[in-house]
Amino acid sequence: MREYATIHLMETDSSCKSKQKEEEKRKCAEKEIKKYFGDEDRQGILRFYDAQILLFPVSSIQGTVWITTKELLEYWFGEVKNQNVDKLLIQEDIKDRAYAIKGIDIDKPLNLGWLLLEVNSITDNKEVVLPDNLTNFVKRIVLVSDRLFSQIVNDNLEVRTSVKIDPETGTAEAGKLFTYEAIPRGTVLGFEISFDKRREKADSIEQLIESTFSYLKLLGIGGLGTRGFGRIEVFNDASEGGDNNEKS
């Protein structure tokens, strides 16, 4: 995100844009970026936290179903309400079964991958209301226990096989076959970015962070980007958290 923000400033910041050479534009942008992301001499004002799987897609006979847990749902969405604007009351004792909260026909069997679960409804046939950006995308949701959530996620990661290519010959290297796991397309992640508003205006920081979103969508983040991995679309949800402004 630091690199994407630097590219954005090279093209939009008036003092950097006026430079003639690309090297001069980059140096100008990097000087401005340091106060946000820091360098070897000083700490930046931005804090990035690990992404967490919030809604995980699993194939079923009813279509793709997203699984989550009570803790994840309440942490990231706060008070979850149904179509009648009534707060969703989730029992504390979540058993090893699926609790339908959106788009699930409880009269039909439901499998999550290879696992067949008993289905209960906790919404009185009134579906939960998600943020607008997710409403049309995530059509079926069930709650499961923390124990089942970890097991289902691990069992439904995509396992891919690849081979190392010799750059000189362009052919596969002998004995270099390997496999790796990937989070499936459609997974909803939650992550937080916080900053100290006492050191910089909130608007300028938000605009800079949001300028990187288009790069994340097209170019990706993390490893194996040339194989199409890491491309994410960010839905911005600004909220106040203590003395910092948090975005998730």
Residues 65 and 21 in one domain: no
Burial bucket for residue 154 (CB in 10 Å: 0-12, 13-18, 19+): exposed
Q: Do residues 46 and 57 share a domain?
A: no
Instruction: Mark whether 45 and 58 lie in a shared domain.
Output: no
**Lateral strand order in the sheet of 238-241:** 46-48, 193-196, 244-247, 238-241
Range(s) of the domain holding residue 200: 2-50+192-247
38 lies in the same domain as 82: no
Number of domains in the chain: 2
Residue 181 maps to a domain: no
Structure tokens, 39: 């360098």
Assess whether 90 and 136 both reside in one domain.
Answer: yes
Contact 33, 5 (CB under 8 A): yes
Q: Of 140, 155, 170, which residue sits at a domain end?
A: 155
What is the reported pLDDT for 247? 41
Tell me whether residue 176 is in a domain.
Answer: no
Tens-place pLDDT, residues 47-102: 889 999 999 999 999 999 999 998 998 888 877 766 655 676 777 777 888 888 88
Determine the average pLDDT of the residues in 218-229.
Answer: 81
Q: Is residue 84 part of a domain?
A: yes
pLDDT mean over 154-178: 88
Pairing of strands 141-143, 65-68: parallel
